[in-house]
Amino acid sequence: MEYFLKKGIIFFIFILGVLTFYETPPVYADKAVIQVDHLNVRTGPGTNYDRIGKVHTGETYTILEEKDNWLKINRSGKDGWVAKWLTKVKAEQVTSDRHYSKYDYLRIRSAPNLDGKIEGYLMKGDVVEPTKTDGKWVYVQKGNTKGWVHGDYLTKESRDTHEPPKDEKSDDDQSSIVKGKVEVGTAVLNVRSENSTRGRILTRIRKGETYEYIAKKDRWYEIKYSSGKTGWVAGWLVNETDNDQTNTPASKNTYVSLNYNGTNLRSGPSTNYKIVGRGHKGDQFEILSKEGQWYKISYDSKTAYVAGWIVEEVNKESAATTPATSNSLKGRTIMIDAGHGGRDPGAVGRSGSYEKTLTLDTAFLLKSQLESKGAKVLMTRTNDQYISLSIRTFHSNRSNADAFISLHYNAAPLNVIARGLNSYYYSSKDKALAASLQTSMVAHTGLRDRGTKKGNFHVIRDNNKPSVLLELGFLSDAREEQTVKTRSYQLKASQGITEGLVNYFN
């Protein structure tokens, strides 16, 4: 008996030794790759469950469970559900690869987000083997320290010379070498937190403004803007300028005209500087120079600064003789009709968004744009209330409005693919107005041009004012819904409508 026991032990040790010569086969797990921005994460598998967060295009999560065409994932340490039809499912090999830290003092956090407590640091060249992922975050161990680091700051190469994004540099590494300057070449340009359209929008800058840049990567520039902050802008929307030019010089006889009452005039080019005075709508000041988004102006025999996004440049000579420029709506009254409201939600999007909410949000942005051009604005509703179609046209007909604009978002059956913008008119005399708005909206938003059409809608059919009904995108299309829900899109649409009205009236 003892003989057979010894033989069994020897055989077991032999088999164990043989197995060590073979590499452990890779494990595969289904992954969900997010296909849209701002995809809702819910507490359960359906749109009737509460939203607990959002995920974004390109992020990848391990699928924990699938139910009724919904996927259960783990995000930031919490389980949640996302719509399967807005993801791409793939099998991904889970391995324990060797990675290197790209930077010194790369933070190891207790959770897969920037709110996680700092547990320790990796130094440049430190080797780790990630064991799990959460979006772009990976779980690593260095000595006795375990936690999460952002995958963008690791590499499989042992050497890397890229500069890290700002929020993962060490606290005392806040200075950067200026490499040149860029001038904004489009009307409004987003400054983002990373060199990608998925980056968070930090601020917006405007055409003609000049900024120093400190890095270039993948056709993006990292620029310095207000108070030394940095962010990324798309390289194809800016132009490099002469590095010796320190400020944008003012043209001769150019002034700024204030768009609002109570405008703050400051001692320096940011909101961190103290207020040295206030101006009112229509006040004009000579431009001495332009620094980033701010104008340096002559004020009270001294100098002051005013924010460029709340003023307009004017030529003093032409302003004195021309009461309303070709870019103005001064003297015009526009009525904005935010479609639906109250018990009438309008179209419901794929992720649960309501048309009535989006039309009201857009209406307020449009109101601001129109008023900045000097127009007087009337609104059929200013909150979430139900107003009948006959009441809307009644208000329009008894007003002194020069145009009636009804805002809507579109929807199609789920088995129909439909995207883009439409402008509708009822009376042939309003066709030119609809065409002007359609052309301008398409130019500003980049959405598909579905054309100008005659529409038998009550609010334009029974309206004796120049009137149009605008469909600003399809909520039934998952991707387009995610686009039109954003403030940036609604602002572009509002700018397009405003420009279309300027062109029409002029």
pLDDT in tens, the chain (506 residues): 555 555 555 555 555 554 444 443 444 457 888 887 778 899 999 888 888 888 887 788 888 888 888 899 887 778 899 988 888 887 654 444 778 887 766 788 888 877 778 888 787 777 888 888 887 788 888 877 888 888 878 887 654 333 343 333 333 333 446 677 888 877 778 888 888 777 888 888 887 788 888 888 767 888 888 766 888 888 777 777 654 434 444 445 678 888 776 678 888 877 777 888 877 767 788 888 877 677 888 877 688 888 877 777 776 544 443 333 457 898 899 999 999 999 999 999 988 899 999 999 999 999 999 998 899 999 999 999 999 999 999 999 999 999 999 999 999 887 888 999 999 999 999 999 999 999 999 989 899 999 999 999 999 999 999 999 999 999 999 899 999 999 999 999 999 999 999 989 87
pTM of the model: 0.41
DSSP at 325: -
What structural domains does the chain harbor?
29-94 (2.30.30.40), 99-168 (2.30.30.40), 180-241 (2.30.30.40), 248-321 (2.30.30.40), 333-505 (3.40.630.40)
Instruction: Determine the Cα–Cα distance for residues 88 and 110; give it in Å rounded to an integer.
Output: 29
Q: Residue 88 has which token pair? A: 């791409």
Strand-pair category, 99-101 with 154-155: antiparallel
Token match 């995920």: residue? 55
What integer pLDDT is reported at residue 441 of this predicted model? 93
pLDDT of residue 425: 96
What pLDDT digit, counting tens, does each position of 235-259 carry?
777 777 654 434 444 445 678 888 7
Q: What confidence tens digit (pLDDT) does each residue in 427-454 have?
A: 999 999 999 999 999 989 899 999 999 9
Q: What is the pLDDT of residue 160?
A: 36
Per-residue b/e over 473-492, b at no fewer than 16 CB within 10 Å? bbbbbbebbbbbbeeebbbb
Three-state SS string over 36-70 comes to: CCCEEEECCCCCCCCEEEEECCCCEEEEEEEECCE
Q: Which two tokens stand for residue 28?
A: 């595969």
pLDDT in the model for residue 243: 44
* Structure confidence at residue 271 (pLDDT): 73
CA angle 382, 385, 389 (to 5 degrees): 95
Q: Computed over its alpha carbons, how large is the radius of gyration of the chain?
A: 29
pLDDT of residue 362: 95
Tokens of 27: 């494990």
pLDDT at 245: 39
The pLDDT score that the predictor gives to residue 467 is: 96
Quote the tokens at residue 303.
Answer: 């100098």
pLDDT at 388: 94
The residues assigned a catalytic role are 471
